[in-house]
Chain A
Amino acid sequence: QVQLQESGPGLVRPSQTLSLTCTVSSVSISSGDYYWSWIRQPPGKGLEWLAYIYYSRKTYYNPSLKSRLRISLNASKNQFSLRLSSVTAADTAVYYCATMVENEGDYFQHWGQGSLVTVSS
């Protein structure tokens, strides 16, 4: 069973860069089976897809956040990471890493437990 675990600072200052890493277990990030994705959920609100990266390093970003997002992959560590620059309080959310499958619809099959990131001075 694929397991995902987010890690990173729980508090980020406004205007700084948020950095999160997702460690993948039980499958190689280079397998080509999944698109490695990030999704966030502000407290008490709904879900917002942010970005994905494929093992080939093909990336795709949410157009509304594209200018501030960077996703990368470290195959040797079986990890992928997200960076969100120039953060504001509106970026406070639980950030999930997830696997996306392109088969009978694009769906998010496995999820990490989530990492709460608070943007505050």
Chain B
Amino acid sequence: QSVLTQPPSVSGAPGQRVTISCTGSSSNIGAGYAVQWYQQLPGTAPKLLIYGIANRPSGVPDRFSGSKSGTSASLAITGLQAADEADYYCQSYDSSLSVWVFGGGTKLTVL
């Protein structure tokens, strides 16, 4: 059971907007620790997508954006493309467990 809770799956049609939620608690997201997002294409290593809640590394399209409110964070993807079909993971630090934690992952299907 992951400390950060994500929906197992989301889907959307090409061109649409989808959001993926990441629900934490007062010992991680709610404590002010930053949230990161990673994209894992099938059979590959995770790739950093968003860091520090809403910052994009160089090369990541601005179709990807992050936000945070209270004990939850969200990843939004606009203008969905077939190439976006992947697993997405949120990540933060948990002060109760004293460890960096990941969400259980969300599989994005582009219809």
Contacts and interface: CB of A to CB of B under 8 A. Distances in A.
Contact of B97 (A63, A103, A104, A108): A63
Interface residues of B, number: 29
B2 interface: yes
Interface residues of A, number: 21
A103 B57 CA distance: 13
Contacts of B46: 47, 96, 108, 111
A9 B92 CA distance: 31
B36 A108 contact: yes
17 contacts: A46-B105, A47-B89, A49-B99, A49-B100, A63-B97, A63-B99, A64-B99, A101-B51, A104-B55, A105-B36, A105-B53, A107-B51, A108-B46, A109-B57, A111-B47, A112-B45, A113-B45
Interface of B: 2, 33-36, 38, 44-48, 51-53, 55, 57, 89, 91-93, 97-105
Task: List the 10 closest A-B pairs by CB distance, nearest first.
Answer: A105-B34, A104-B52, A111-B45, A107-B51, A47-B102, A49-B100, A105-B52, A107-B36, A46-B104, A46-B105
Interface of A: 46-49, 62-64, 96, 100-101, 103-109, 111-114
